Structure formats: C-alpha cells, structure tokens
Structure 1
Amino acid sequence: MVTAGAAQAQSCRLQTHTLPLPLVSQHMPEHAYQVRVQVGTPPASANSAAAIQVLEVDTGSTGVVVPLSAAIQHAWDASSKLGYIFYSSNSQYHPGKYVQVPMRLGVSADGKSAVASIDSIEVLAAQCSCGVAPIPKATLPGSVQTLSQAPDNCAAYNDTLALSSGGKQMLKKCTTIPSSFGMMGVGYDRGVDAARNPFLNLVQMQAGSISPGYIIRASGITLGVSEQALQGFSLIALQRAAASAAGGADWQAPNACASFPASGSDYQVCGKLLPDTGITYMMLTPTKQPPAPAKLQQTLTTPAKPASTVSGQTSDTSATTSLVVPEGTPMTLAIGATGHPVFSYGFKVGGATPATPDGVQWRTALNVPPAHINSGRHVLAATDYAYDGACGHAGFRPAPATP
C-alpha cells in the first residue's frame, strides 16, 4: 500500500534483484544486528580469514569505522585526511584517518566468499581511544596543539585539541584502540555523504542492477529494494534535503508522533523519526513549547559501570542522571504524517513485550522544531522497516507475530 507519493513512485522504477545479508547474530532486535565483513586488502602473507571483522549494523549513523590494521595500512599511508569519531555516551574520542578501501559484506567464516562487495569506500581508520578534558582556563589562546597529520603513536595525541569540542577540550589518556572496536553506520539523513554508506554502494548498485536501499526485519536484513520485496509495506514519500558540504542532497527522515494515552494529557512529541538499530532504548527530543508535563518526567540515576574493551572504553564510567518517562506509562508511536499514520503501535514503559524499548529518555528540548524521536531497535519487533534510497521512500509493514 503506497500512502504518499504515488506519482513519484510511478516515475521511478526499481530493479528486481535483492540480496539477503547473512548475520552472525541471533535473537534480534533484543540483540544487535552483526555482520561479518572484510575491510581493506589483507597482506599477501595473510590467510583469507585474517582481515575478517564482525561489525554492528547501526542505522543511527552513516559510515564505517574500524581500527587501523594491516589490511588498511597501505591506504592509511596514502591518506592525509584526518578524521575522528566521538561517542557522547562514554565520552570516548577516536582519532584516525579517512581511507579509501575495498569492502566485502556477508563474508564466510573462512573468508573465501562474500555475499556483496564494494569496490572502494571511504572509511574511518581509528588509531587510538582517548578521553577528553576541558582546556584549563589559564591556557593561552592557541597554545593547545592542533595536529595537522596523524602521529605514529597514541601518546602523541595527548594534550592536543579535540576536534569535536569547538576548541574547548583536549585529548587525554590515549591508548591503542581495541581490535574488536568498530561500527557500520547505514543510516540516512545523518549529515554524512551517502557515499560513505556501505549498504548503498554495492558493486551491483553502482552498476544499476540492484536499487540502493535495504529492508531490516527482526529475522534479518535484505540489501537492495524491489517492488516484490516492498510488497505489504506502507510507503512514506521522503523529501530531499538541501545539498550540504557533506555531500549531495540526502532524503530526509519520515515523521512520527509519540503520545501518552491514559496520561490525562494530549501532549505529544511530533517530529523526525530515527529507527535506530544501534541502541535499545527510546529517546525523545521535544521542542521547548509546549513543555512536557511534569508527570511524564522522572529523574533516574544509573550506577557506574566498569570499563568495556568491546566498546573501546578505556576507563570506568561515572554514575549518570537522566530524565525518563516513568515506568508504567502507556505510550503510542505513530509513524507518518500527524493524524494520518501508516503504522502505529503501543507499549507500556518498562513492559515485557518484545517491541518495548529498554526505557524512554528525555533529551534537552530544542528551541525550534522539528523535534526528534529515536525509537531504538525494539520497534523492529513490531514493524519491518524499509529504506528506498532510489525513489525516496521509508516503508513500514507489521512484523509477523512471534510464536
């Protein structure tokens, strides 16, 4: 069922082929979607499985980030484009370089075969894991070094400027990044050039034999979209964003509304929707007006957690305080134009159904719209999710009932 943009769909023809992407993970969306990949070209002396990595599929970001390794060393040496990724969740900063490398997806355990490949894609080769600290107030302006090239060791990053901080922070306690670190961002409307999205740049997509896009279900992932693969989906026509310095114009995210039935209030958060496979909880970023009712907000303190070598975290986290929707609160997520959703489902915060997120957090309210709703990945227990990057649609289809 096409609910919007029928004329657009008629003028845009999809190819007929798609590819199922093998996963190494199970029991999604409770657990993350993980794919075996090979990034770069292994040295001739290495066996076929030497450069294999398992990366998490993250629709909440765009672009691949992996540790510097022998398979991308040659591309590293040829690159002068510095880069970084900063995770606000654990305040870890990972500096490195952007490199152009081949990539294979759905790689077999022995490394000899793969479902899909990419001739060349720009990825971030992360060299180190660093903490960040405020620049001392007595520091003279411009006295904190800004690196113009990547050093050959992690200690050399210490006390240099954190490029993510707007000149307010420096790097501290930089150590070699764990080999298990990595992420595969496949989202859109994230402010990053779609040329960095591995799911949209397969060899077959570049050749025009597969239409760029993907379908994510609780049971797996399909690369490419076709009319047959989109059967049963309600499609939302997406709007093009203005071209930016990051690259060409991207499709904008669909709209959704999160409401609170039985709360005695007609308050709702309506704005851009991000079905984010990278997190298990929901985040609501409302506008300041109208303000969220006090009864829908609760302050929650989360105890400190030990360091995690899997995430690249190098120090214990401190206890955090967050503003959440109280447990037991009924909520509804309605996807599509306000008042005319193509899909909706309800849950009770703290409930046990598969589609219930692991909590609902409030984020700092915005001065101007649009608001933002990050559903987390548990929504995929309620709906299949499609992104048609060729014709500009987001699709939603009720998920099969779990046994």
Structure 2
Amino acid sequence: MHRWVKETALGVGILAALAIPAAAAAAPACAIPAGGPSVTLPVVTPNGQAVEADPVRNAYRVNISVGGMAAHTVEVDTGSTGIVVPWTAVPPDLWKAAAGNPTHILYTSDNEYLHGRTIQATVALGVPKPPAGVAAAQPYPTTGTIDLMAADCVCKLDSTDSGGGTAQPRPAGGGSACGDLNGTRSDPQVNNSPLLNSCVPVDDGMGMMGVGYARGGRSSSMNSFLRLAAMDGGAMHPGYIITQSNIQLGLTGTNTTGFAFTQLTPSAMPAPSSHVKEWNEPPVTIAFQAGEPKPAPLTGSLLLDTGIADMLLTVPTAQRPGGLVVPGSSLGQKPPVIGDVVPAGTPFTVTVTNADHAPILSYQATMGGAPPSPTYGSWRGATATANAFNLGRHALAAANYAYDAQCGRLGFQQVAAKK
C-alpha cells in the first residue's frame, strides 16, 4: 500500500450550479454497454521487453511514455492513485516549468519517501521499449492531460525523531542537491513532521502507476486507467479488468462475462467528470480457521493491492484474535518484518458478498503459502477506529478483478490458480 501524503489542488466543477429540478425524471440505470471499445495492455518483465509470465507473484508492470518521452516501465499499483516516475522520464521543459509545484509521497509499506514536482502531461500506455519490447495494439491508448509526480530524490524518515522544530524550505532538487534534504522536515508545512535522512538521487529505473480508487483523497482525475481520451469523450466505458496475465481497459458486456459484481456506495469526493465517479471500498470478511476458541470473523473495508505480495490487516489491538499475534521476527525473513504478524501457516478464508449476501469472491488461503495466500500477514493500526484489509496481489490467483468507475461496481471472476 502506498499513500500520497501531500496533495496537489485539483479543480472540480460545482455540480450544484446545474440546479437540476427535483421533479426531473430519474436517470436510467447505469449499465455496462454490450459492445464498445476496449484495449488490452501487455504485462511486462522488469526490463519492459518481454511478457511477464506470472505477474501475480512478480508484480504487474506496463510501459508508458510521458509527454512523448522514451518508454518507461512502471509497476501497476491499485493501492495508490497517480503516476510517479523519475524526473529524467518526463520532458525537460515540463520539469523546469514545475519548479514551483513541489510534492512528495510516502510509501508506507517500506518507509520510503520520494520528493519531486507535480507536472501535467499526456501519458501513452502499452508502448514498446527498445530494442524489442512488446506493445499494445496501435494507436496506443493515451490519456488526456493529467497530473503526475516527477521524483528527483528518495529519503528515509528518521524513526528516532520526536518531532518539533521548524519546517525548512526545500532545496531546488533535480537530483544533484538531494543531500540538502537531510535534516529537513518531511512535510515542509508541518513543524512536527519527521525529519528526513539518507536522501539520495532517485533510481532512474523506478516507476509506479497508481490506479486505485478511494485512496487517501486522491482524485480519479489522476488515474491513467480512467483518463483515456476515449473514456473522457464517453466512447469507452471507464473501468478496468486485471487478470492473471493481462490488463484490459474499458468495460464491455463481452469482457465482463462471468463476473459477479457488488454495488459500491458513492464517495463524498466530487466526481472528476460526468463519466467517472468516486466510490467507497466494499466490506470483506476474514475468518481465521485457527485458535482456541476459534475467533469470530473480522469484517472491514477491502483493498486488493497489486503493489504488495503480503497482506495488511488494520485492526485495533483489542480486537485482534488471541494467539494469532506474534512478532514479525518469528517469520525468519531478512530483513526482519517489523511489528506484529499473523503466525505463518495460519489458515483463513476471504469472502466478499453483494447486497443480497451472495458471495462474489470466496477463497481459502494460508499465511505464507502459495498464491492466493499472501507471503505473510502484518497487523497494522493499533489504535484504528475501523478495520481495513489489504489482500495484496496474490488474491488475483483466486479471481480476476474488475472495477467499474462509472456505475460504481466491483467484480470478481473466480479462476483456478496457476501451478
């Protein structure tokens, strides 16, 4: 899971200004069209030049081109919203013009902090990466102009810092002055934000493409999977499907055949367009099949996060099942997992239902087992006020995943796990 911690203001329309009369006829029910366009993106290996045989285990990556630049490989992350690429992957004139738009992101899964600038550009998806990269069908699907982050420096947060002090201004950056970030506050507008250390130039090969929804207040206007020109114009139904082998953009009656859907509730966030709305995550139930007495099932919000292979269980300490909380060091991993985890080998079931309480996703897994099992399960949120469960991308070994951004539906198509 990756969380943006500094926002860039985005313009939104004032829907109330339309002043639609209360007596107006109800709009027809939202539905996925029987036909219509869709495009398949090939999932590639880390070098971007071959098809990835097992993205469930090895991560989902695609090639993109920002503002006409050379193809760059990014990891597809449903746990965040917005593209993050190194500053060398964006047009130089856009980087220079964005000097007054500093931004940053914190990757909560590994305590990694990226500093950079917000730029606006079009993004082409599925482009080939020389000398012999795989590609989507031409013309390559391309977004409208969207906000994205160009990163120049990567830092760690000082875990020994107790806060306080004064927020400092940012250095110019651009890769050459990253050391000047050391000792500054991670949020230059917050005096007690943690200090930065170990700041170095970002790796030119890094890249993340956040395509999730309901991610920390980030608008779907930044989601490249929902901002294709054909979606902005209404010709393509906005949404996507992630399978064990590829990614499909644009929903149709054909590519959603066999999916079971649940209706999502509308988010309070403003809709970025008349075609793309904002939605809340549905509930999921986790039932552990271990412990004496066997613990009651836990229910909380669902996130299927292609950016991680483990599972994150946000549950306050008092509600965690007895006997199922052990130190991360017990897993024997190097480096050791920080914090508490579910014991390796613990069996559990995952269930998502629709409004009629019929299951649309149901599978069994074991902590540390083969997919759909996560590599491990980490307890988070000791003082959380609501449960939340991040299943990680290994859940895609049990089912294909579909998100309908226009009608507000989440769907699963049960499949057999690859051997």
TM-score, scaled relative to structure 2: 0.80
Letter of the aligned partner of 2:128 in structure 1?
S
Structure 1: runs of 5+ lacking an equivalent? 1-6, 43-50, 306-317
Q: Which of 72, 82, 86 lines up with 1:63 in the alignment? A: 82
CA apart distance, 1:322: 2.7
Q: 1:245 to 1:328 in 2, by over 3 A?
A: same
Whole-angstrom distance in 2 between the partners of 1:376 and 1:17: 29
Alignment of 1:98-137 (within 5 A): 98-110=118-130, 115-133=140-158
Matching of residue 346 in structure 1 with residue 364 in structure 2: yes
In the other structure, the counterpart of 2:185 is 161
Alignment of 1:39-50 (within 5 A): 39-42=66-69
- For 2:250, what is the secondary structure of its paired residue? strand
Matching of residue 146 in structure 1 with residue 146 in structure 2: no
Whether contact under 8 Å (1:104, 1:114) holds in the other structure is no
Matching of residue 21 in structure 1 with residue 41 in structure 2: yes
CA apart distance, 1:133: 2.3
- For 1:56, what is the secondary structure of its paired residue? strand
In the other structure, the counterpart of 2:340 is 323
Letter of the aligned partner of 1:325 in structure 2?
V
CA apart distance, 1:32: 0.4
CA apart distance, 1:245: 12
Q: 1:21 to 1:343 in 2, by over 3 A?
A: same
Number of corresponding residues: 372
Relative to its length, the structure with more strand (as a share) is 1
CA apart distance, 1:388: 0.5
- For 1:117, what is the secondary structure of its paired residue? coil
Matching of residue 52 in structure 1 with residue 81 in structure 2: no
Q: Which of 300, 306, 309 lines up with 1:280 in the alignment? A: 309
> Higher mean Cα deviation, 88-97 or 372-381?
88-97
Spell out, residue by residue over 1:14-73, the C-alpha distance to the aligned partner (whole angstroms, 9 max, x if none).
36221111121221211101111111233xxxxxxxx21111111111110000016422
CA apart distance, 1:256: 0.6
Letter of the aligned partner of 1:21 in structure 2?
L
Whether contact under 8 Å (1:269, 1:284) holds in the other structure is no
> Higher mean Cα deviation, 266-275 or 10-19?
10-19
Whether contact under 8 Å (2:40, 2:249) holds in the other structure is yes
- For 1:76, what is the secondary structure of its paired residue? helix
Matching of residue 261 in structure 1 with residue 289 in structure 2: yes
What is the Cα-based RMSD across aligned positions, in Å?
3.0
- For 2:116, what is the secondary structure of its paired residue? strand
In the other structure, the counterpart of 1:180 is 205
Whole-angstrom distance in 2 between the partners of 1:288 and 1:244: 34
Whole-angstrom distance in 1 between the partners of 2:417 and 2:109: 33
Alignment of 1:169-318 (within 5 A): 169-190=194-215, 191-243=217-269, 250-261=278-289, 263=291, 264-287=293-316, 291-301=319-329
Whole-angstrom distance in 2 between the partners of 1:8 and 1:384: 30
Whether contact under 8 Å (1:255, 1:337) holds in the other structure is no
Whether contact under 8 Å (1:267, 1:292) holds in the other structure is no
- For 2:141, what is the secondary structure of its paired residue? strand
Whether contact under 8 Å (2:187, 2:193) holds in the other structure is no
Whole-angstrom distance in 1 between the partners of 2:229 and 2:271: 25
Whether contact under 8 Å (1:214, 1:223) holds in the other structure is yes
CA apart distance, 1:331: 0.3
> Higher mean Cα deviation, 65-74 or 120-129?
65-74
Whole-angstrom distance in 2 between the partners of 1:166 and 1:255: 36
Spell out, residue by residue over 1:298-340, the C-alpha distance to the aligned partner (whole angstroms, 9 max, x if none).
22316785xxxxxxxxxxxx64433222223220000125964
- For 2:323, what is the secondary structure of its paired residue? helix
Whole-angstrom distance in 2 between the partners of 1:136 and 1:28: 38
CA apart distance, 1:244: 6.4
In the other structure, the counterpart of 1:46 is none
Letter of the aligned partner of 1:221 in structure 2?
I
